Structure 1
């Protein structure tokens, strides 16, 4: 089990999120937490789709997991 988890984690990147004007502006504009806004901004900067189960993120552009698997 540990090997499987370690293997899966090896594909993940960890980003340090510091105080960032773009994240803060998006949070205020979209009425999101800074934390949620950081995910949206990171996805935008990396030019990747954000997949989430979080309704606030889905309302702001994230894709639902169910939409990708159906």
Structure 2
């Protein structure tokens, strides 16, 4: 998919280190970058905070203010 889009970099979560084949990326001239995502904690409508949900959860809970929550978390 990266090659079809003329991309040069693949971003993966840290867990990808356990199963990604680095040689395959190197052979295809694709840089493999592992990110250290810090999940923002925000108030959800029902019950205790549940991490690692879709961005849609944040958007449905905060709408236009969702970007502010991401910025405060230190993720870019």
Common fold by TM > 0.5: no
Which one has a larger percent helix, Structure 1 or Structure 2? 1
Asked which structure has the greater CA Rg, the reply is 2
**Structure with more relative contact order (C-alpha pairs < 8 Å, separation 6 or more):** 2
How would you bin the TM-score normalised by the shorter chain?
A: under 0.3
With normalisation by structure 1, the TM-score equals: 0.25
With normalisation by structure 2, the TM-score equals: 0.24
Which one has a larger percent strand, Structure 1 or Structure 2? 2
